[in-house]
Amino acid sequence: MGTLTSCSLVPLNSEFRFNPVRRIFTFRDKIQCHRINSHISKLGKLKHVDFDRFRCFSINNKDGVDGEGESGNNDSKSNVTTALPDEDNRAFNSADKSPTPSTSQRSSLSSLGSAYNNFQVDSFKLMELLGPEKVDPTDVKLIKDNLFGYSTFWVTKEEPFGELGEGILFIGNLRGKREDVFSKLQNRLIEVTGDKYNLFMVEEPNSDSPDPRGGPRVSFGLLRKEVSEPEPTTLWQYVIASLLFLLTIGTSVELGIASQLNRLPPELVKFLTDPNYTEAPDMEMLYPFVESALPLAYGVLGVLLFHEVGHFLAAFPKQVKLSIPFFIPHITLGSFGAITQFKSILPDRSTQVDVSLSGPFAGAVLSFSMFAVGLLLSSNPDAAGDLVQVPSMLFQGSLLLGLISRATLGYAAIHAATVPIHPLVIAGWCGLTIQAFNMLPVGCLDGGRSVQGAFGKGALMGFGLTTYTLLGLGVLGGPLSLPWGFYVILSQRSPEKPCLNDVTEVGTWRKTFVGVAIFLAVLTLLPVWDELAEELGIGLITTF
């Protein structure tokens, strides 16, 4: 086994060559020190950081932990081994071969051992070593001297910037039009430091007054590119996205089968609808209904793919990279939509609005086309053989879609116990519901990104709180409100990261478009209560 050994990291510079500044853990094998050195080298290559100035050494102690005796400072029982390059290895060769170190080495270790014996300090330093790389102080001075000045932006103070404070936020006074200054600073930054940093223009935090030229006061944040830019899509993410898409195909086919409920065998209907029925029927009875379920499945999948195509078509001209979509299967709608991440930093808020709105807009156009064509076919007597019977109370699930159905099919048809409709109506209804859910102004949904880009992050917080409240009360989405709310909280609750230019506001027409889209989404998800449904003639209301 060997003696009890403590491991520490030594900075290999002239000033602190043998000072143990980072103690990691205690172990019982001196060979582990060499393994730690190899791990440090691998970590440096992965994080693109120079860790060669750190080396691990071990202090063997027969009496206790941390390389110290019962008194906490007993060096006479210590044995030092080290992993230092070149002349440092030669200086410590005698220590590797001898059971006792030299006097100078023992005094150097003991003089600073107690100063760095605090576990909290050591843990903090280790976290700093393993955390994201911060901005180089030398570069900060270089940037202040060459970027900022009287003609652009006069820096008055600096603060940490970023989620973990790994960047620098320059606070000061703007000396020109913010867009022109920002463009000039970006060009100078590339000339001074190369393609190493990203510069952000953000609103000044805790500002007491607006900018004299109009609008909010601005500050400039600096982050390293490897810290601020999203990571590329990995192979495992492609595998997971493919599996989720296959599951979505399955749930879409299941939706098509469920729409033929009036044609299914009674034992199968009882198994699907009665939770107390435990006897599993022969699932081979479903096979004849799969073929007739495919048109509806194709419609739902077409809406989902059209939604993603809209995102990519809007992102391509703006040179915005998107991740592969991660479709979320759901047995009631076929899918909850897809999670599509930004894989590059957005240049401005207008781009954020355009890319975010394009997906729901494309999906809504296709969905409404199918919904309208399906309603027209449902009112055509020649298409009676292709229609399916659905309960009329289903039209109470949406105020907007229920009113459109009532106006197209008429009072008598919509007020019966069951309503014959074309499968395209179901596909369009589900597609419009999916788009409406994704346009809710919360988190990093398409609606949340649109609101954040159009009205700012502060407005998103207010909209998000209202949306969560309405979902929790079941006001939006009816029985789907709680599942959708949990889905958003688990995977989509965080707002989008700021754009490079996160200050310049979008135009009035973009704000109007976002407001109208959210209003239509709320009308689509707002169910019709019985009193209003009776008055509007939507569904057959039975009063007991």
Instruction: Encode 292-358 in three state secondary structure.
Output: HHHHHHHHHHHHHHHHHHHHHHHHCCCCCCECCCEEEEECCCEEEEEECCECCCCCEHHHHHHHHHH
Q: pLDDT tens-digit profile of 487-519?
A: 899 888 888 888 999 998 898 999 999 999 999
23 pLDDT band, cuts 50/70/90, is very low
Handedness of CA 454, 455, 461, 467 (dihedral sign): negative
pLDDT of residue 68: 40
Domain ranges of the chain: 131-228, 235-536
Q: pLDDT tens-digit profile of 271-309?
A: 666 666 666 666 666 667 777 788 889 999 999 999 999
Tally Cβ neighbours within 10 Å of residue 101.
Answer: 22
* 543, two tokens: 């009063």
Tally Cβ neighbours within 10 Å of residue 155.
Answer: 17
The residue that leads in pLDDT, 517 or 15, is 517
- Give the Cα separation of 91 and 67 in Å (integer): 21
Lowest mean pLDDT among 113-117, 374-378, 398-402: 113-117
Measured CA distances, 480 to 397, 441, 468, 475 (Å): 10, 17, 13, 10
**Single pTM value for the model:** 0.72
Q: pLDDT tens-digit profile of 65-89?
A: 444 434 344 443 434 444 444 444 4
Residue 85 C-beta-side C-alpha neighbours within 13 Å: 8
- By the 8 A CB rule, do 147 and 198 touch? no
- Give the Cα separation of 362 and 368 in Å (integer): 10
CB burial of residue 336 (10 Å; 0-12, 13-18, 19+): buried
pLDDT of residue 420: 86
